Chains A and B, each alone.
Chain A
Amino acid sequence: MKTFRLILIYCLLIIGGLIMAFPFFWMFISSLKTAAEVNTTPPTFWPQRLMFENYVYAFSKAPFLTYFKNSLIVVGSSVSLTMLTTILAAFAFSRLKFPGRDFIFSASVGMMMVPFEMLIITNYTTIVKIGLMDTLTDLILPFTSSIFYTYILRNFFFSVPDSIYWSARVDGATNWRYLWRIMVPMAKPALATIALLNAIVSWNSFLWPLIATNTTAKRTLPFGLYAFMSASGIRYERLMAAATIVVVPMIILFILFRRYIVEGVSRGGLKG
């Protein structure tokens, strides 16, 4: 009875897992097929010949290398800047005392309800007016202040006992040094979680690059992929190769840091 139950659980888990992960398998397999093999019935579940040329095509016919580089720059700068503003703000909101602190914080948290789609109208004008249209900077700047991450980090900072802070002050540390020497090292797990979530969101960002860039040289991967689809027509083996390029870094990131990412997502169900 017990073994039967266990077998059932494993069967269901495997079936479910296959369904959830299948698109990724299919994407990868299709990316290695020839054009002829892609369009055969019944479909083959393992390529007859490994067509790495599809990847070569994506990198040579479309500037996926540029997209990749742009994505790295945008994600890297966006994550570091966001971490900086988040750490400073979370510290002010949790440890420093000043009039209106709780009001400013509550008001900020309230702004979390505003969907990003509502902001694009004005943000578009703003970046055009300050001459940043179609630059990588405009893909970074609007996202450097994150209420959500500040909220998470502030809660973490709050959980650090007062006595640690006062010990450091008595030991001669200023607020600034306390923050960087004691608080930030202590918050490493929380910071890692935030940085990972931020990197994922930033990497997959599509709507804003669609609006705020218009030349190939400034595209990031998801928009580049979409442009590739529109431009090169429907050749699924090539599209799948390109999609694999976009998806694989995040899958690797997920496999490496699953614990942090899952923790971060389950803590902040608010933002998907």
Chain B
Amino acid sequence: MRKSKAEAEQKQIFFGEPLLYLLPFLIGLLIFTVYPFLNALLISFKENYNLMTGAFTGFGWGSYSRIFSDANFINGLKNTALYVLIVVPVSTVLSLLAASLLNQKVKLSGLFQTAYFVPMVTSVVAVGLVWKWMFNYDYGLLNYFLSFFGLAKINWLNNPAYNLPALIIFGIWNKMPLTIILLLAGYQNINPQYYVAARVDGAKPRNIFFRITLPLLAPTIGLTLVVNTISSSMVFMELFPLFNGNPGSAYSLYTIVYYLYDMFYNQWRLGLAAASAVVLFLIVMVLTIIQLYIQRNWQNY
């Protein structure tokens, strides 16, 4: 009897107070994250939904069957997949190289870090414009460099065949800083005693890299792969500076998010926008679960 009284008293002191601390956060979360998330799920199943009036004609899978028979959406899935499949591995390999260089004890490491990391903090639209300028057919730097090697100029931004490669080159450059930082953090978590031990055992630098560094770095590499896959799946903003807000020069470079944006903002077909958003969410969710799995099971060696 007395027990519950004492404990209830203690609880009374702390009750209600937590809610006051939590309220500002929860209100924002509920209005601008939880509700819109649930609502998007709901809209994706509403037929002929009108966003402003809220009117709709019934529930069903209509939006889903429509997006999956929409060539633009299928195209978006394909382009996104291709983009992810090239950007993620290439930027990871290059970042691994850069991170192992940055991990050396060199002078001016601060300067080097700044050079390697700065693309990460700058606006995609702004640096995208710079790339647009470098991709320019007549006066762009890239074509100028190609001419050094006796190669013909490429119409990166106006020939639909080269739109995706241009997007990919920009993407690799853009994804590298984050990847390098994560890998560098991974490097710094490796106990230097392993290296001392390996050197005492007479291992050559190449052996050390493949037999010690890479296995110990595997969880971090796995993590960066997933993180980059998630962020690359959302490729979209890059299209604005490069292609004046269009999905490529011939409207052939749809991505999943561009499709979502197009359905919502340009075409006002909200069911389709919501359905594609749900597809995007499912992709992200699966990738996140993989990420959590990697973090849980790979990181305790």
Binding site for B on A (CB under 8 A): 6, 9-10, 12-13, 16-21, 23-24, 26-27, 30, 38-43, 84-86, 88-89, 91-93, 96-98, 101, 104, 108, 111, 113-115, 117-126, 128, 141-145, 147, 150, 175, 200, 203-204, 206-207, 210-211, 221-223, 225-226, 229-230, 236, 239-240, 243, 246-247, 250-251, 253-255, 258, 261-262, 265-266, 269-270, 272
Using CB atoms, name the residue of chain A closest to B240. Answer: A226
A237 smallest CB distance to B (angstroms): 10
With CB as the reference atom, state the residue of chain B lying closest to A105: B22
Q: Which 5 A-B residue pairings sit nearest by Cβ, starting from the closest?
A: A145-B28, A122-B36, A89-B25, A17-B115, A266-B185
How many of chain B's residues have a CB under 8 angstroms from any CB in A?
96
- Distance of A147 Cα from B46 Cα, bound (Å): 29
**Chain B positions 30-72 with a Cβ under 8 Å from a chain A Cβ:** 31-37, 39-40, 43, 51-52
> Contacting A119 at CB < 8 Å: which of B36, B111, B138, B184?
B36
Neighbouring B residues of A269 by C-beta, 8 Å: 178, 182, 223-224, 227
* Distance A141 CA – B15 CA, assembled complex (angstroms): 28
The answer to the question of B190 belonging to the interface, with a C-beta cut-off of 8 Å to chain A, is: no
* Min CB–CB distance B91 → chain A (angstroms): 12
Q: How far is the CA of A92 from the CA of B20 in the complex (A)?
A: 9
Known pairs A115-B280, A265-B120; A229 contacts B14 (CB<8 A):
no
Contacts A/B (CB < 8 Å), 23 sampled: A6-B106, A16-B97, A19-B173, A27-B126, A43-B141, A89-B22, A96-B14, A117-B261, A119-B32, A119-B37, A121-B43, A121-B277, A122-B35, A128-B52, A141-B32, A145-B33, A203-B123, A204-B125, A225-B126, A226-B245, A229-B129, A246-B125, A253-B121
Report B22 CB to chain A, min CB distance, Å: 5
Given contacts A10-B106, A20-B119, A204-B122, contact A86 B25 (CB under 8 A): yes
Give min CB distance, A7 to chain B, whole Å: 11
Contacts of B4 in A (CB 8 A): none
A145 pairs with B25, CB closer than 8 A: yes
Nearest Cβ in chain B — how far from A264, in angstroms? 10
Tell whether B168 is near chain A: CB-to-CB under 8 Å.
Answer: no
User: Within 8 Å CB of A123, what residues of B?
Assistant: 32, 36
Contact B121–A9 (Cβ < 8 Å) = no
